[in-house]
Amino acid sequence: MLHLTLRQLKIFDTVARLSSHSRAAEQLHLTQPAVSMQIRQLEQAVSLPLFEQLGKKIYLTEAGREMQRYSRSILQQLAEAESVFDDLKGMRQGKLAISVASTASYFMPQLLGQFNSQHPGITISLNVTNRETLLHQLANNEMDMAIMGRPPAGLDLEAQSFMENPLVIIAPGSHPLADVNDIPLARIQQETFLVREQGSGTRIAMERFFSEQGINITTGTEMSTNEAIKQAVQAGMGLGILSLHTVALELETHRLVVLDVQSFPICRHWYVVHREGKRLSMVAQAFKDFLLES
């Protein structure tokens, strides 16, 4: 009996469609190692190689082509079944109230768009705010759920991770370290860092990381938005530490670069969070399941 998961099939189907582990990882919001691991586990399940590499390109093997045929059929049937059951449950209409940390606003519209395309009758209310306000809203049960970094322990909250959130050091392309590989962590003590406000999830993670590493950094201007930090870094006011999700456009247009610093990126995750014991609406539960299965 084959022991495989829907997650493996979805990842395999994406890699097969794009002929690339890295592009599949980007589309699925996963790391390339995570994608490669799922493919290896699937190959172990069938005891046959599904891809072969010729030069820099990968191609489906004969077993891979068979797997692609079955995976597409299975995923299509599941999508059809979901549509039927959603209609039976009344998923043609409903409301979803969701609040997200400001950094999450760079990718959540895309995920909400995908969910809304599956359930076009649903009305979505999206509130973008800071971590402190999110915790206040959760405490007062003001929304269906929140998207944020890991909430502090000791609160009556249920939190499940659904996507990686790597924090990277950004610099202008003209910075002396821009083309340096494997920069020692101690070297960045000579630099000035622009930081988010106190209470920001990114600020908390950054300070915890440097404290654990025994590194003392110089902080310059404190800013309340990621956009302000990006603009200030481009202007040469210092380095910044931000989620990789926030700088995709700047990296593509070469306005910013990610420095290759030892022990970076700082590995964090995004969480879907709601009050513990909260009875989610049909729509909210469907969206939560969508995030956890994506």
Q: Is the peptide bond prior to 33 cis by the omega test (within 30 degrees of 0)? A: no
pLDDT averaged per 10 residues in sequence order, the chain, 294 residues = 88 92 90 92 94 91 94 84 67 82 90 90 89 88 90 88 93 94 93 88 89 90 90 94 91 93 92 90 90 87
pLDDT for the residue 88: 61
The crossing angle, in degrees rounded to 10, of helices 32-46 and 62-89 is 110
Distance from the Cα of residue 241 to its chain's centroid: 16
Which class is domain 6-88? mainly alpha
For the chain, the structural domain boundaries read 6-88, 92-164+270-293, 167-267
Could you give the CA distance from residue 180 to residue 176 in angstroms, rounded to a whole number? 8
Could you give the CA distance from residue 283 to residue 240 in angstroms, rounded to a whole number? 38
pLDDT for the residue 100: 95
pLDDT for the residue 66: 94
Could you give the CA distance from residue 31 to residue 29 in angstroms, rounded to a whole number? 7
pLDDT for the residue 239: 95
pLDDT for the residue 211: 92
pLDDT for the residue 87: 60
How many residues in the chain? 294
For 41, the enclosing helix (H) or strand (E) is helix 32-46
Which class is domain 92-164+270-293? alpha beta
92-164+270-293 and 6-88 share a CATH fold: no
Alpha helices in 179-294 (DSSP H): 201-213, 226-234, 248-252, 282-293
Could you give the CA distance from residue 245 to residue 263 in angstroms, rounded to a whole number? 19
Give the pair of three-digit tokens for residue 221.
């201007």
Q: Give the closest residue to 152 by CA, choosing from 198, 201, 197.
A: 201
**Residues 112, 124 contacting (CB under 8 angstroms):** yes
Residues with Cβ within 8 Å of 210's Cβ and at least 6 positions away in sequence, in order, are 216, 217
Q: Could you tell me the CA-to-CA distances from 141 to 149, 218, 228, 272, 280 in Å, in that order?
A: 18, 39, 31, 14, 11
Residues with Cβ within 8 Å of 188's Cβ and at least 6 positions away in sequence, in order, are 169, 215, 217, 239, 259, 261
Fold for 167-267, please state it.
Answer: D-Maltodextrin-Binding Protein; domain 2 (3.40.190)
Q: Which amino acid, one-letter code, is at 133? A: T
